[in-house]
Amino acid sequence: MAKIIGIDLGTTNSCVSVMESSKPKVIENSEGTRTTPSIVAYTEDGEILVGASAKRQAVTNPKNTLFAVKRLIGRRFNEEMVQKDIKMVPYKIIKADNNDAWVEVRDQKIAPPEISAQVLIKMKKTAEDYLGEPVTDAVITVPAYFNDSQRQATKDAGRIAGLEVKRIINEPTAAALAFGMDKKEGNRTVAVYDLGGGTFDISIIDIAEVEGEHQFEVLATNGDTFLGGEDFDLRVIEYLVAEFKKESGIDLKKDMLALAPERLSRES
Partner 1 sequence: MQNIQDPQSDQPELTADKTNTEKTSTEDTTTLSTAESAVETMPSLEQLLKKAELDAAEHHDAWLRAKADSENIRKRAQIDIANAHKYATENFSTELLTVMDSLEAALAVENATVENFKSGMELTLKQLSTAFDKFNIKVINPNEEKFDPHQHEAMCTVDSELAPNTVVHVMQKGYILNDRVIRPALVTVSKAKET
Which residues have a Cβ under 8 Å from the Cβ of 218 and sit 6 or more positions away? Answer: 144, 170, 172, 173, 203, 204, 205, 206
- Among 8, 85, 156, 201, the one annotated catalytic: 8
Largest separation between any pair of C-alpha atoms in the chain: 77
What is the DSSP annotation of 96-129?
A: -TTSBEEEEETTEEE-HHHHHHHHHHHHHHHHHH
Taking the complex as a whole, the smallest distance from the CB of residue 169 to partner 1 amounts, in Å, to 26
Identity (one letter) of the amino acid at 65? T
Q: Looking at beta carbons only, is 63 or 167 nearer to partner 1?
A: 63
Site string for partner 1, 35-74 (x = CB under 8 A): ------x--x----x---xx-xxxxxx-x-----------
CB 251 within 8 A of CB 241: yes
Of 89-97, 178-186, 187-195, 260-268, which segment contacts partner 1 by CB under 8 A? Answer: 260-268
How many residues bind partner 1, per CB under 8 A?
23
CB 54 within 8 A of CB 37: yes
Would you count residue 1 as binding partner 1 (CB under 8 A)? no
Would you count residue 32 as binding partner 1 (CB under 8 A)? yes
Taking the complex as a whole, the smallest distance from the CB of residue 51 to partner 1 amounts, in Å, to 10
Residue 137 bears catalytic tag: no
Taking the complex as a whole, the smallest distance from the CB of residue 208 to partner 1 amounts, in Å, to 33
CB 153 within 8 A of CB 112: yes
* Binding interface with partner 1 (CB under 8 A): 20-21, 31-32, 41, 44, 49, 53-54, 56-61, 63, 106, 256-257, 260-261, 263-264
